[in-house]
Structure 1
Amino acid sequence: MRSRPRGGRVQALREATTGALWPLPTAAILLAVGLGIGLTELDQALGYGEDPIRFVFTGGPSAARTLLSAIASSLISVTTLLFSLTIVTLQLASSQYSPRLLQTFVRDRVVQTCLGVLLGTFVYALVVLRTVRSADEAQGSSFVPRISVTVAFLFALASVAALVTFLSHQTRQLRVETMMRDVHSESARTRARLHERQEEDQQPDRPLPQVPDSARPLCARSSGFLVQVFEGPLLEAVTGAGAVLLLDRRPGDTVVAGAPMAWAWSQDAGNGVQVEELEKALQRAVHLGHERADVADPSYGLRKLVDIAARALSPGINDPTTAGHALSHVSALLGDAAARDTWHRRLTDEDGAERLVLRSWTFSELLELGVTQVRYYGREDLTVVDRLFALLAEVAWRARTPAQQRAVRQHLDALVEQSRTSPPAGRTLDDVQRWARTVDEALAGRWLRPAS
């Protein structure tokens, strides 16, 4: 089955808008302007005479102005309060847990929806307010857009509900357990998306192809974090050049202008590759951002959770319980990642020849990311060391291949050596050996029964 290329400018735009705070409130403001103009035109077309429609606003111009003015003035104050609370939440998450958690808050649909309702109601009230006129004004006859004012009143009630929802939601969002749950969910969605692509390729797990001596390095022309690759255009350019290209940067890696980021070689050993043309095609096909994103990066969720655990173990915070909870999420994600040894992407041309290889993360690299830093910072804490041994046992139980088992064994040996040199407070070498035996049994496909 031929690999189908993924990615494009439309997808990049969609990812950029879903990861920003402004699109949904902006859409709400535009909708409010449209409703404000459209409903007032409907009011003028209907005309009410002396017998207005039941259940709509029946007051005069002065009452309509008072109501609309009260809605507009109160909502701009409430919106300012909500923006202030959002900024405080972002600052707290950044300073106490991890700066990379800001993306999770910014893309929160509840926050975006509440801000959209408040801003939309404010703008709608202003648009309708401009159409209210008294009999003594220049037009000569009074006009009260009764349906429009009634809708403004309903929007005000919706804004009250949005305010209560926002406050309730923010109190939950400030809990570190909620933050870790959201990170876990984002990472699980990314892994599922990558797994779907790999299944579509029908490519077995195998290491990257050997780069021949004739391969030429392709240098980056701009700097940033590798977010994703627009596979279609790059595959077309590489196929047209009769070359094979290996992208030597993983999603989430730093790319520096002027430094090699890929290797290219010709399928025909006697021909060279057009380095200049392929570098231009590579520049157009890679999306580099000023910050990392989880679009195609299976490691980003682990990075956030490890940041939370490491920050919790710092002397200024000293919260090993939070570190242990973060390791529980890390364990679950690593166990799911054991579904594959590698997450590399391979694309072929129409004839089935492999043309484009996009390097990604391997299971052993993800395991190292999830364990190494926490092992170092929490080496003397009983809670953390105990949870690290349990993590390795849980991952070992789900390890499918010898390569994954070797990776677990490597980290088990390092953890045992560290714990023997400096046992956690209140534990002895016998405890370390007992923890290690739990992992050994899991690697052998056996789970120790609880002691009676």
Structure 2
Amino acid sequence: ARRQRQMCIGDRDVNTARLVRAARRQDVVLRLIPRIGDFVVPGTPVLAVHGGSVPPPRRLRYAVSVSVERTLHQDLAFGLRQLADIALRALSTSVNDPTTAVQCLDRIVQFLAAVAHLPLGPVHHRDRDGRVRLVQDGPEWDDLVDLAFEEIRWCVAGSPQVTRRLMAGLDDLLLLVPEDRRKSLVRHRALLVQTVERTVAVAADREFALLPDRQGIG
């Protein structure tokens, strides 16, 4: 199925109930191709149909809302993207505001703690009989962790306030998350240690920069 509105460039909102009803009437399974927040090139497929013929266009019309901007509605990763962007701007040499970066990390860690035990990844929407009718891709845990920490970690050299807060945040999350979600956190912690060891010449300064501190530096 294709959406033909040429001005629609961003997948913003999905009416899952409408799509499930359309798939049930046609006795098919629909798969949403773009993830919420993806850039959608006008004219490219938005829905794939499995198990039968395409539902009538009138039943799919307005089921996927698109816009020129991402929004927080239904877009789990967008809030993290905004927080990471604010932290990156704060850590730039032109701004140099590590306290703002630490405040962003406070919220990033809070967000990850809130979703630590939630099911993530593909979502299977079922009809009233329990049959899967719509498959919708979503971010995995590792995707969210990388979005939260990868770019920030690249910019923390020389800012012990931020490295200390980041270490504390990773340690707190390692205590909270299930065993199968620890790997990506361990990876970022090890890479943070490597970054500090590579960029800070004095051993005492390295030790100070890697000491977990939820306030950064007091």
Given the two structures, how large is their TM-score scaled by the length of structure 1?
0.42
Q: Compared with structure 1, are the counterparts of its residues 278 and 264 closer, same or farther at alpha carbon in structure 2 (3 Å cutoff)?
A: farther
SS of the residue 1:255 aligns to: coil
Distance in 2 (alpha carbons) for counterparts of 1:315 and 1:283: 48
Deviation at 1:224, TM superposition (A): 2.3
Distance in 2 (alpha carbons) for counterparts of 1:420 and 1:278: 60
Q: Deviations over 1:414-441 (max 9, x none)?
A: 3233233223877555567x65xx7xxx
Query: Is contact 1:246–1:358 with CA below 8 Å preserved after alignment?
Result: yes
- What count of residue pairs does the alignment treat as equivalent? 210
SS of the residue 2:165 aligns to: helix
SS of the residue 2:62 aligns to: helix
The equivalent residue for 2:187 is: 410
Q: Compared with structure 1, are the counterparts of its residues 306 and 238 closer, same or farther at alpha carbon in structure 2 (3 Å cutoff)?
A: same
Distance in 1 (alpha carbons) for counterparts of 2:61 and 2:161: 47
Residue identity in the other structure for 1:252: G
Distance in 2 (alpha carbons) for counterparts of 1:377 and 1:332: 21
Given the two structures, how large is their TM-score scaled by the length of structure 2?
0.83
User: Which has the higher relative contact order, 1 or 2, with Cα contacts under 8 A spaced 6 or more apart?
Assistant: 2
SS of the residue 2:66 aligns to: strand
Distance in 1 (alpha carbons) for counterparts of 2:79 and 2:204: 32
> Which of 247, 263, 275 matches 2:48?
263
Distance in 1 (alpha carbons) for counterparts of 2:136 and 2:4: 18
Gaps of 5+ in 2: 213-218
Larger radius of gyration: 1
- Within a 5 Å distance, the mapping from 1:291-440 to structure 2 comes to 291-342=69-120, 344-402=122-180, 404-423=181-200, 427=204
Query: Is contact 2:11–2:65 with CA below 8 Å preserved after alignment?
Result: yes
Deviation at 1:312, TM superposition (A): 0.7
Query: Is contact 1:220–1:279 with CA below 8 Å preserved after alignment?
Result: no
Q: Compared with structure 1, are the counterparts of its residues 308 and 232 closer, same or farther at alpha carbon in structure 2 (3 Å cutoff)?
A: same
The equivalent residue for 1:231 is: 16
Give me the identity figure in percent: 27
Query: Is contact 1:249–1:360 with CA below 8 Å preserved after alignment?
Result: no
Gaps of 5+ in 1: 1-217, 267-272, 439-452
Deviation at 1:262, TM superposition (A): 3.7
Distance in 1 (alpha carbons) for counterparts of 2:175 and 2:22: 44
Distance in 1 (alpha carbons) for counterparts of 2:204 and 2:39: 41
Distance in 1 (alpha carbons) for counterparts of 2:201 and 2:35: 36
Query: Is contact 1:220–1:256 with CA below 8 Å preserved after alignment?
Result: no
Residue identity in the other structure for 1:415: L
